[in-house]
A and B are shown apart, each in its own frame.
Chain A
Amino acid sequence: MFAYLTRRALALLPILLLMSIFAFALIRLVPGDPIDVMYGSEGMDAVRRAALRAELGLDDSLVVQYVKWLGRAIVGDFGRSYKAQMPVAALIAQRLPATIFLSLAALIFSLVLALPLGVIAAIKRNTWIDFGAMTFAILGISLPNFWAGIMLALVFAVYLGWLPSIGYVSPMTDFGKSLQHLILPAITLGWSLAGTTSRLTRSTMLEELGKDYIRTARGKGMKERAVILGHALRNALIPTVTMIGLQLGFLIGGAVVVETIFAWPGIGLLVVDSIFGRDYPVVQGVILVIAVMVVVVNLTVDFIYTILDPRIRLG
């Protein structure tokens, strides 16, 4: 197992290298550079511009800039944010907990909702329970999450006053308050994932429930609960776990709309602001961190396969 994981981790290094090149190159393709942002529309003379380019290392060739940055990034030094004037690593460390907290909450919400819904929908196929569950799922998939978020905020925060409309409180500071602030963004983010997960779960459950081993289990007099949960669901979860792993990567890096609606200071908003601000070190650093996290998540998914299905041997 360990050997397998080590081999997989090493195999992903070229992917991370490629990601770092993409992150470095793509942001530089966008018109405008950090100096254009810093000095705004008031004009800057050529002397000042040249001095600043030298100070920021932007007058080196792109290859030299990349190699210098990569050499530092390998040891965890992502450079310094042009805008925040602080180390990128510190900036990411400041914002990452909020993103992880929100992503995990959205994931837990979606699983708690989606798995039972998918299973029940499969068991009660073609009943009103099935239709209701799938309608809920389709709404989650099809409603744009910016609309859903604003509606949830309007109803539960503005009109009912039950929950706050914005902000993040660290669970270390005040756990109760942090949960209050978490509910609406987590539901907004998790609803779409719940929809996809429940539909997939229903589909894979139906497939498993139609297989011979299930008929055999029932024929042997096994309790229905054991048949469903112990046998069918376990096998049905394998594609679902794969999909969740992929979605988690999206949750970590792609929650910028939800972060905007709820003023949630996560890394999604950080990377978008940094793109607009041409804050090259932050963009590169965040993309690399997200890539590493997605890689770790996918390795974890591989590990979970072996638990779900002992036939799967890693390595």
Chain B
Amino acid sequence: MKRSILFGLLVALTLVAACAAPTAAPTSAPPTKAAVAPTSAPAAPTKAAATTPKMGGTLTFAMREDVTSMDPLKAIQYGDIRLNILVAQQLVAPDRAGKFVGVLAESWKTDDGKVWAFNLRKGVKFHNGQEFTADDVKFIFDRILDEKAGAALRSTLNGIGLKTEVVDKSTIKFTITSGSGPFLSYLALLNRAAIIHKSSYNADGSVSKIIGTGPFMLDTAKPGDAYTLKKFPDYWKKGEPYLDGVVLKVITDPNVRLNALRTGDVDMTEELPIADVKKLVEKQDANFQTQVYYINSGERFVLNTKREPFSNKNARLAVQAVFDRAMYNDAIFFGLGQVHNQPFMKDNLFYLDVAMPKVDLAKAKEFFKAANLQPGAKIKVMLMASQKDRTEVLQAMLQQVGFVVEFDMVDSAAWNKKGPAYDYDILIGTMTGIFDPDRPYGYLEKASGGNWLVGGYDSPQMTDLLAKGRAETDVEKRKAIYKQVVQLVQDDAATIYVAGLPWSEAWRNTVRGYRPGTSPALMMMDASDGLNVTWLDK
């Protein structure tokens, strides 16, 4: 009798647990093909949006990682960019078509690609009430070039010989010795040249509060918890923003972000669990909408050319020949990624007509043999813990050829330590902020500070092509040059571009006027739309 009651209790508890449907975790087995084909443009909202914005309200956004640097010049992580894009702005930025437009600059001209004169936007104020002038631009660019400041763009701008000169209050002149082609993209790279007021900097060079020109001002910062932004009433785009404030709440677990969105504890979120994204895109929730969007970005497999086996081109070609991008996309991204061989969206002008290598196991084995490798050749793949779902797919693919894969799972600090030390055979990398081909391909020369990001690949032919690409300003000529670059990348299997990443954002139906941008940020860097034109219909 007592045992039967106990048994009954256990059954009852199990039933209760089963009724609460668990959040689905991605499975390691490749799913069937996606029913929804990914598009390069965001899907239209399922409900008709109210056309008249309502002023007021505070929107809470759940972001997946914390801010690591308040200083836009040092912004590395996505959390940094999510915050500083709302608060600080650059001179120029790409629009949705990828064309560079003025933000804090109204116009610019250059006759020779070496001297650039920018006319600055008038009537722009910083959050402390100070007027934005050319002196502020010079301050920032001098700071970027200052060795002690630790700015991310330093080596790039130093490499092109950048000099900054104030012509008058509203005109700034840049002089460069090289890099004419991608110059505007350097100025627009992930807000790393954002113009903030010099009083943002403490005596020790740190930034506790960003004083920018953006539609929102930083109010409070609680690292690891939340960042509160308030509307900037003197924003230069009159009438914006519509919201009174934004709260960026740090929630690192994707399932927790999804729950918080369901309960309404947050209004918007990013990067939901990929398996849930697929389900939600196929059948939208009644209370919120989920969108998958694509930007120039990609996951790539980097082969270490500095040591065996991948110092041997045949070994690299073996991996390239067996790598099944479609299968990888199905297994890892549930079919939501955009299979590619270049880290651009297919409708981007720099997605060039270079055929993708076909999967050919027989050829892969030939290359493996030609590399004098024996079956069971061990290789080490370095990946982050968040990429652990890649292990089974990689093992299965590379085993066919004869490789035995060991995995070195690291965190980002160890990744940044072991990477430059070339302590890997393959590493899995991702890249965003791509608006110019020099950004991803520029690493493919030995002199690049990020050459380790492409396995130390070194080729005189590639170096020559990249120099030409940087010097050329005519778009069609640049396309022709970079087409050769992409072909050479494949011929040498320098790095394997796999798929464009499926970025996901979701927001409750009370959030109106928002659409995802062209970078992992909450506002277009060209200030056209994003949270600055979002409102709450509550």
Chain A residues at the B interface, C-beta cutoff of 8 Å: 30-34, 36-45, 47-48, 51-52, 55, 81, 83-86, 91, 94-95, 126-128, 131-132, 135, 139, 150-151, 153-155, 157-159, 161, 164-168, 260-263, 265, 269-270, 273, 276-278
Contacts and interface: CB of A to CB of B under 8 A. Distances in A.
B416 A165 contact: no
Contacts of A260: 252-253, 256
A159 B20 CA distance: 8
B453 A157 contact: no
Contact of A150 (B10, B23, B252): B23
Contacts of A157: 259, 263, 265
A37 B68 CA distance: 9
26 contacts: A31-B413, A31-B418, A32-B411, A32-B418, A33-B413, A36-B414, A36-B417, A37-B416, A38-B76, A40-B412, A40-B416, A41-B450, A43-B452, A44-B155, A51-B147, A83-B66, A83-B69, A83-B223, A84-B223, A85-B206, A86-B223, A132-B9, A139-B13, A154-B21, A263-B250, A263-B260
Contacts of A36: 412-414, 416-417
> Which one of B70, B262, B429 has the greatest number of beta carbons of chain A within 10 Å?
B262
Interface residues of B, number: 64
Contacts of A33: 413, 417
B68 A277 contact: yes
A164 B266 CA distance: 10
A38 B224 CA distance: 16
> Which one of B152, B223, B250, B449 has the greatest number of beta carbons of chain A within 10 Å?
B223
A41 B410 CA distance: 14
Nearest to A83: B68
Contact of B265 (A126, A165, A277, A278): A165
Given A91-B223, A154-B259, 10 more contacts: A30-B414, A31-B418, A32-B414, A39-B74, A41-B419, A159-B20, A164-B265, A166-B265, A263-B256, A277-B413
Interface string B140-153: 00000001101010
Contact of A95 (B66, B224, B251): B224
B53 interface: no
Contact of B155 (A45, A126, A276): A45
A29 B132 CA distance: 47
Interface string B465-488: 000000000000000000000000
Given A38-B74, A43-B449, A165-B263, A150 B147 contact: no
Contacts of B206: 85
Contacts of A81: 223
Contacts of B412: 32, 36-37, 40, 276
> Which one of A91, A158, A168 has the greatest number of beta carbons of chain B within 10 Å?
A158
Contact of B416 (A41, A85, A168): A41
A42 B5 CA distance: 63
A85 B266 CA distance: 27
A85 B70 contact: yes
A269 B256 CA distance: 15
B105 interface: no
Nearest to A164: B265
B22 interface: yes
Contacts of B152: 39-40, 42
Given A94-B222, A166-B251, A277-B68, A43 B413 contact: no
A158 B74 contact: no
A43 B450 contact: yes
B415 interface: yes
A52 B223 CA distance: 22
Contacts of A155: 20
Q: Which 8 A-B pairs have the closest CB atoms?
A: A32-B413, A43-B449, A40-B76, A265-B225, A36-B416, A84-B223, A32-B417, A43-B450
B420 interface: yes
Contacts of A52: 150
A41 B249 contact: no
A164 B264 CA distance: 9
A128 B416 contact: no
A31 B410 CA distance: 9
A63 to B, nearest CB: 23
Given A32-B417, A166-B259, A260-B252, A265 B224 contact: yes
Nearest to A274: B224
A32 to B, nearest CB: 3
Contacts of A262: 256
A42 B450 CA distance: 6
Interface in B413-460: 413-420, 429, 448-453
B524 to A, nearest CB: 23
Contacts of B155: 43-45
B2 interface: yes
Given A51-B147, A83-B68, A91-B223, A41 B415 contact: yes
A41 B450 CA distance: 7
B6 interface: yes
B147 A48 contact: yes
A150 B255 contact: yes
Interface string B11-22: 001000100111
B224 A269 contact: yes
B208 interface: yes
Interface in B192-242: 202, 206-208, 222-226
Contacts of B250: 263
Contact of B413 (A30, A151, A161, A168): A30
Contacts of B147: 47-48, 51
B150 A48 contact: yes
A261 B256 CA distance: 6
B82 interface: no
